[in-house]
Structure 1
Amino acid sequence: MLKQQPASAPIRVLVVDDSSFMRNAITRHIQRDTHFRVIDTATNGREAVAKAEQLKPDVITMDVEMPEMNGIDALRQILAKSNIPVIMVSSQTEAGAKTTIQALQLGAMDFIPKAGGFEQLHEKLHAVVGATRARLRPQVVKPSLSAPRRAMPMRARIAKPQLVVIGSSTGGPRALCQVLEVLPKNFPAPIVIAQHMPPQFTAAMAKWLSDVCAIKVVEAADDMALQPGVAYVGPGGMQFRLVNGKAKIAAAQGESLYKPSVDVLADSAAAAYGGNVLAIMLTGMGNDGAKGFNKLKEGGAHVMAQDQATSSVWGMPRAVAESGCADEVLPVGEIGKRIKAMFGLA
């Protein structure tokens, strides 16, 4: 079990990497913030499994490629014995991205790329530890936000939306899979997705989702026409908009800290589709998408948010729920079924 700490105690981190340079670099960066303390390091997966069991850290950063036992096998063993959250540290290559997506499938909470990912590390460590501790203690949440709301009656104007917009971040890949795998190949509308990820990783995620789901999932490209039965994932490091029934992919111009941004995508959906939209916010830290989803709601869109109990991090869906624009707050396992019902596919 995750070791309970007083509120003032530093978050205890185990750093796992076979490179002494990377171990030292990650340790130095983490300990710049006094809210964290690196309690030990490990040089391979076998050491990581043993030290995780012995030291019971609050969170682990895990390299992927290591001798004796790689990060994927170590992740499997750690999660089989504990609920310690793990953040993968990945190379930003095609192979590294594919392995990272596999780790997220298995239960890693999040990841950072080795190149340029350290600036988000403290925020991600805080988020995954906070979310894990929240799940271990009794939830004291407003019933209207923590429990699924009664299914809303379908109004004629939104009976069959022309578009589905999905936003997600931490924990998003697994949540997206749980939602999309329920949908049939002949799903009658396009689906557009803004998942917070760096370049390379969104392409690997789209390929994995397409392999396991009946619908086709692709990484969106500029000027790609949106087709029913296809889910389009915004490419990492870029902004994803919708214009005249096509995907518009462009370099960020300071619109948001997030690339792709849910707010940017939702704003463009509101302009292009008005209220004929089903908007869904899945797990993720922060509040990206809350403003865009409110704009969609004002135009007549139907809005769903994932509930706290099934979210890896209840940040983005919480922001949507607490803003008052969510028509329904549902467990992730019910969202795909609800989409089918709205489209008359149940």
Structure 2
Amino acid sequence: MRPYKVLVVDDSAFMRKIISDLIENDPDFKVTATAANGREAVDKVNELQPDLVTMDVEMPEMNGLEALKVIMANHPLPVIMLSGINEEGMRETIMALESGAFDFIRKPSITNSQDIIAVGLSLIEQMKGAMLAREQRQARNASLREPDMILPDPARPVSTGRPVVPELPVRKPGLPKITAEATVKPAVDKSKQPVQDAGTKLPDTSKSGISTPRNLPKTPPAPSLKPPASERLKNRKQPDTVQPLPEIKAVPELPSVSRPEPPASGGGRKAGTKGLRKLVAVGCSTGGPRALKTFLENIPADFPAPIVIVQHMPPNFTKSLAQRLNTFSPLEVTEAEHGMILRQGAAYIAPGGYHLKVVPAAGGQYAIELTTEEARNGHRPSVDTLYESLLPLTDLERHAVIMTGMGSDGARMMKALHDSGVTSTFAENEETCVVYGMPRSAVELQCVKYVLPLQEIAPRLVQAVK
């Protein structure tokens, strides 16, 4: 097999050298050219037609986001963004993922050799995932063009049978008390989105995806208060050193004055928290930011269940993701905080570096618990950890959704939820996934009730929950 051609784009000659050396450590890839800014990158993509591009986010003349949009419009190909950890860089990285970037990595610290090695391993893993996903998509498209191919009946529902499988160990952790007076943030009064027609059950016509997990750097999540969506983020440099995560051994008793309350927006209201009866849990990875945008902008403001989300992403970036999604969704989207009480009309994104669990709280409520337990399936946060926390919550009507992503995180515990009688399970189909790994693993375990294209998941979920 010939090595894949890679274009490396960065305004720093030193960083271009580091990234090029990391890439060429793997014989499957060869750096055929480099570019110092986005304009050069666009010209060299047109001229050389590489298989893949690594793109710095912040560059002079034409930045990475602008170059990405031109490339995806004229010569679509996998692009992996290299982001700094300042707020402006993180915000533009999230926008790049929405605009079609395959994934991103943070730029390595040039003074830390171990960090450079770790970033290099993550980059090679993403590049191999991008190439495999492209080849699987090409093979699927070619098979669909075969004239003698017999297509499955689209009216045939996905099997919801429950075959006997080895019993999965389910741990029910001791759950400390969380007081009812814990933080309840006011909802933003947003206009309702129209709900589209519900999707139909589709069969799985998938092929195998990618199963290699990604490791996340262990740094603490960003500050907890969510600024207004209109506030422009400051371009502030963050330290390159990696700080250890604070240990959280249990959910503490939270007094009513534990956190300052943000000012309530005019006309805002507090959604009901007592008597919560329904809950939606969502998991995704590679391609997730774009999928979450499509998903959340089609959930109406009066949706009668909180939505908890695990998106595989490093610390700090999850805060930028939540802020960005909040500008599109009728729901209030926020980065989850330890001890938050779940409420309707809100979506909570697990902070990078922390597992997120849903636990019972005082007064018949439910709260968020963040822990620094070991990574699971190579990830922290892990979708399996979130889903597992829902197993004992049998008083709730639970709905589980799994969307695009590499690996199989979430599939095993979705199977456990399905076999325990969870209300509904959803998976994104192969045609709309950036990487059909996590959904494929769940479908193969026969635990998915609805396999749908991305744009049909939210309308069908609204129908199922309401």
Q: TM-score over 0.5 for the alignment?
A: yes
For each residue in 1:259-308, what CA deviation from the matched residue of structure 2 results, as whole angstroms up to 9, or x when unmatched? 21101111112233477311111001111111111111111122111000
8 Å CA contact 1:193, 1:231 repeated in 2 = yes
Amino acid at match of 2:310: A
24, 38, 56: which one pairs with 1:63?
Answer: 56
Corresponding residue for residue 464 of structure 2: 342
Corresponding residue for residue 46 of structure 1: 39
Is 2:314 the counterpart of 1:198? Answer: yes
8 Å CA contact 1:241, 1:249 repeated in 2 = yes
TM-score of the aligned structures, taking structure 1 as reference length: 0.90
Corresponding residue for residue 27 of structure 2: 34
Amino acid at match of 1:41: T
Corresponding residue for residue 4 of structure 1: none
Corresponding residue for residue 411 of structure 2: 290
Task: Say if 1:161 and 1:292 are closer, same or farther in 2 by CA, change over 3 A.
Answer: farther
Amino acid at match of 1:123: E
8 Å CA contact 1:305, 1:330 repeated in 2 = yes
Corresponding residue for residue 85 of structure 1: 78
Separation in 2, partners of 1:255, 1:318:
19
Corresponding residue for residue 299 of structure 2: 183
8 Å CA contact 2:103, 2:126 repeated in 1 = yes
Amino acid at match of 1:126: K
Is 2:241 the counterpart of 1:241? Answer: no
Higher relative contact order (CA 8 A, sep 6+): 2
Task: Say if 1:146 and 1:193 are closer, same or farther in 2 by CA, change over 3 A.
Answer: farther
Q: Give 1:205 deviation, angstroms.
A: 0.8
8 Å CA contact 2:93, 2:104 repeated in 1 = yes
Q: What's the RMSD between the two structures over aligned residues?
A: 2.2
Matches within 5 A, 1:219-238: 219-238=335-354
Corresponding residue for residue 129 of structure 1: 131
Q: Which moved more, 1:248-257 or 1:181-190?
A: 248-257
Separation in 2, partners of 1:104, 1:145:
34
SS of the residue corresponding to residue 39 of structure 1 reads strand
Q: Which moved more, 1:137-146 or 1:40-49?
A: 137-146
Q: Give 1:60 deviation, angstroms.
A: 0.4
Q: Give 1:24 deviation, angstroms.
A: 1.0
Separation in 1, partners of 2:353, 2:11:
28
Structure 1: where are the runs of 5+ without partners? 1-7, 153-159
TM-score of the aligned structures, taking structure 2 as reference length: 0.67
8 Å CA contact 1:281, 1:304 repeated in 2 = yes
Task: Tell which structure's C-alpha radius of gyration is larger.
Answer: 2
The number of aligned residues is 330
Q: Which has the higher strand share?
A: 1
Amino acid at match of 1:202: T
Task: Say if 1:46 and 1:303 are closer, same or farther in 2 by CA, change over 3 A.
Answer: same
Percent of aligned positions with the same letter in both sequences? 42
Separation in 2, partners of 1:168, 1:336:
14
Q: Give 1:174 deviation, angstroms.
A: 1.0
Task: Say if 1:64 and 1:145 are closer, same or farther in 2 by CA, change over 3 A.
Answer: farther
Corresponding residue for residue 155 of structure 1: none
Q: Give 1:196 deviation, angstroms.
A: 0.3
Q: Which has the higher helix share?
A: 1
8 Å CA contact 1:161, 1:189 repeated in 2 = yes
Q: Give 1:144 deviation, angstroms.
A: 7.1
Task: Say if 1:131 and 1:143 are closer, same or farther in 2 by CA, change over 3 A.
Answer: farther
Structure 2: where are the runs of 5+ without partners? 109-114, 145-149, 159-199, 202-275, 361-365
Amino acid at match of 1:105: E
Q: Give 1:147 deviation, angstroms.
A: 9.4
Q: Give 1:123 deviation, angstroms.
A: 1.3
8 Å CA contact 2:356, 2:385 repeated in 1 = yes
